[in-house]
Amino acid sequence: MKKARGFTLIEVMIVVVIIAILAAIAIPSYQSQLRKGRRADAQGFLADIAQRQAQYLLDARQYALDPGAIKTLGLVPPTSVSDYYTVTVVAGATVPSYAITAAPIAGKAQVQDGTLTLDSTGLKQRVDPKAGTVGW
């Protein structure tokens, strides 16, 4: 008599359950790491803008604060930033000063991460929807 070969239905179901448990653990962790990577890209871009603002101040005796300030400074946001954040440069409370804001685009994964700001004094903040204002 030949013995039947293959997997039983119970064995296949156990494997499927184990894979589902691993996926339930791995996918949120992976998404969190992607969010942190995009945040790091945005922080780097804000730092680039701040550096260009310092150079612009030396040349023009004022900061670039027009609506197209990022283009005035000769910068183009990378797609990892422009796809998830709206970056703006606005005048600060005192003259001369500025504040750069990277606000997450509604409906995208970065909304959980909050808004990033960097001002002319070097103050770096992230407004986390859950934890409030925290550092970068």
pLDDT at 9: 93
* CA–CA dist 94, 34 (Å, integer): 36
Q: Which tokens is 129 given?
A: 């929807």
pTM of the model: 0.83
**Residue 129 predicted with pLDDT over 90:** no
| Domain residue ranges in the chain | 9-134
**Residue 79 predicted with pLDDT over 80:** yes
For the structural domain made of 9-134, what CATH number should be given?
Answer: 3.30.540.20
Amino acid sitting at position 22: L
* CA–CA dist 82, 80 (Å, integer): 6
H-state helical runs in 61-116: 69-72, 79-82
Query: What does the pLDDT average to over 113-133?
Result: 88
SS3 74: coil
Q: Which tokens is 29 given?
A: 């962790």
pLDDT band at 94 (very low <50, low <70, confident <90, very high): confident
